[in-house]
Amino acid sequence: MRLLAALLLSLGALCMTTPASAQMYDPRYPVCMHVYGELLGERMDCIFTSLQQCQASIAGNPATCLVNPFYAPRSGRPGRPER
């Protein structure tokens, strides 16, 4: 009986979880804008190349600019050509 109760409790907890979402941070851009609030919804837009560009976009909106933790700059060195 305890096993059944534990199984049902585990199943209930599993059903209450939300599905995982895709990665919100685009690794091609160094700056993200975190938009929040009921009117605009909550989202992360990683489409900016500088903090100044992001700050100009959020003027008057409930948002903040963040450094993208997943930014992966391209290598400055050209790769070896393939043969």
Using one digit for the tens of pLDDT, what is the confidence trace for 26-59? 999 999 999 998 887 899 999 999 999 999 999 9
Q: Please name which of 26, 7, 36 lies closest in space to residue 70, comparing C-alpha atoms.
A: 26
Residue with tokens 């050209």: 78
* Reported confidence tier of residue 75, pLDDT bands at 50, 70, 90: confident
pTM above 0.75? no
For residue 62, what are the contacts with CB-CB under 8 A and spacing of at least 6? 35, 36, 37, 39, 40
* Domain boundaries defined on the chain: 23-70
Q: Is 18's pLDDT higher than 50?
A: no
Whether the CB-CB separation of 50 and 31 falls below 8 Å is answered with yes
3-state SS, residue 42: coil
